[in-house]
Chains A and B, each alone.
Chain A
Amino acid sequence: MATDTNGKHTDDLVLPTYARDDTSHPALHTPEYRSTALRNPQRPLHLLPQNLTEVTGPLLGHERVGEHDHDLTVQHEGEPLGERIVVSGRVLDSDGRPVPDTLVEVWQANAAGRYRHSGDRHPAPLDPNFSGVGRCMTDEQGRYRFVTIKPGAYPWRNHDNAWRPAHIHFSLFGRAFTQRLITQMYFPGDPLFFQDPIFQSVRDPKARERMICRFDLDSTIPEWALAYHFDIVLRGSRATPFENEDDDDDD
Chain B
Amino acid sequence: MTNSPRARSQPTLGTTPSQTVGPFFALPEGLPWPDGPELVTEDTPHAFVLRGQLVDGAGDPVPDGLIEIWQADERGRFAHPDDPRGTTTSFRGFGRCATDQQGRFWFRTVRPGGLPTPRGEWEAPHIDVTVLARGMLNRLVTRIYFPDETRANAADPVLEAVEERRRKTLLAEHDDTGFRFDIRLQGDDETVFFVL
Contact = CB atoms under 8 A, between A and B. Distances in A.
Interface of A: 1-2, 4-5, 10-11, 13-16, 18-22, 24-28, 30, 33, 35-43, 45-60, 64, 92-96, 105, 107, 109, 115-117, 119-120, 131-133, 169, 171, 175-178, 180-184, 198-199, 201-202, 206-208, 210-211, 232-236, 238, 241-242
Contacts, number: 273
Interface string B117-154: 11011110010101011111111110100000000000
A24 B82 contact: no
Contact of B27 (A2, A52, A117): A117
Contacts of A94: 11-15
Given A16-B82, A41-B190, A241-B5, A107 B16 contact: no
Contact of A36 (B14, B85, B137): B137
A64 B128 contact: no
A133 B28 contact: yes
Nearest to A105: B31
Contacts of A35: 134-135
Given A38-B185, A40-B186, A107-B25, A242 B16 contact: no
Shortest 8 CB-CB distances between A and B: which pairs? A35-B135, A58-B94, A48-B194, A38-B57, A56-B80, A94-B11, A26-B137, A10-B116
B14 A206 contact: yes
A43 B11 CA distance: 29
B17 A46 contact: no
**Interface extent on B, as a size class?**
35 or more
A216 to B, nearest CB: 17
Contact of B115 (A22, A36, A53, A211): A53
A37 B56 CA distance: 9
26 contacts: A2-B117, A2-B121, A2-B122, A4-B76, A10-B116, A24-B15, A24-B17, A35-B134, A36-B135, A38-B185, A39-B134, A41-B185, A46-B162, A48-B141, A49-B158, A51-B118, A52-B72, A105-B30, A119-B64, A182-B139, A206-B14, A207-B17, A211-B19, A234-B15, A236-B13, A241-B5
Given A40-B186, A41-B140, A41-B190, A15 B16 contact: no
A107 B14 contact: no
A163 to B, nearest CB: 14
A25 B8 contact: no
Contact of B143 (A42, A48, A95): A48
B128 A26 contact: no
B25 to A, nearest CB: 6
Given A13-B84, A53-B71, A94-B14, A120 B24 contact: yes
A233 B128 CA distance: 23
A25 B138 contact: yes
A57 B31 CA distance: 17
Given A47-B194, A169-B22, A177-B70, A133 B27 contact: yes
Given A39-B62, A58-B92, A210 B194 contact: no
Given A59-B80, A235-B15, 14 more contacts: A14-B84, A15-B118, A26-B18, A33-B137, A38-B135, A51-B115, A53-B71, A95-B9, A115-B24, A131-B27, A133-B30, A171-B25, A208-B17, A233-B13
A24 B196 CA distance: 14
A47 B143 CA distance: 12
A232 B33 CA distance: 23
